[in-house]
Amino acid sequence: MDQELLDGIRQVVREEISGVKDDVSSLKGDVSSLKNDVSSLKTDVSTLKKDVSEMKPQLEENTNIVRALLANSEEHGAQLDQLEHRVSKLEGSQKRQGELEAYLKDHHHQIVIETGEPVFDK
């Protein structure tokens, strides 16, 4: 009977170990899959780092171009303001000139020439 008990225990242990072996085998597959995923992620991160490092100089150049364009825009804005001021002055001068022309156009002088004996003051 002791032998039967030992054989029974062995059978139970074998069945339990068999289930554990299946679980361990499944875990090995999962770990292997995770390793592949991590390797793929490392490759992706490496590629991203390379792409970002290549984009940094272009981004800096673009930023400098935008700054220069903004400075030029401000300068042109100031020049436009000066031009508007000059045009306003010219318009004012033109208006005054038009008023003077109208005044002179309608302005008349009468010149009287008298003839006769000269009068001398004594």
Give me 79's structure tokens.
Answer: 């020049």
Give me 34's structure tokens.
Answer: 């995770």
Reduced to 3 states, what is the DSSP secondary structure of residue 13? helix
Return the beta strands (E) in 12-83 as ranges. none
Give me 71's structure tokens.
Answer: 């400075």
11 has a pLDDT exceeding 90: no
Burial 29-38 (b: 16+ CB within 10 A, else e): eeeeeeeeee
pLDDT digits (tens, 9 = 90+) for 46-69: 999 999 999 999 999 999 999 999
pLDDT at 90: 92
109 has a pLDDT exceeding 80: no
Reduced to 3 states, what is the DSSP secondary structure of residue 120? coil
Rounded to an integer, what distance in angstroms lies between the CA atom of residue 24 and that of residue 32? 12
Secondary element (H or E) of residue 48: helix 2-105
pLDDT digits (tens, 9 = 90+) for 84-108: 999 999 999 999 998 888 878 877 7
pLDDT at 1: 63
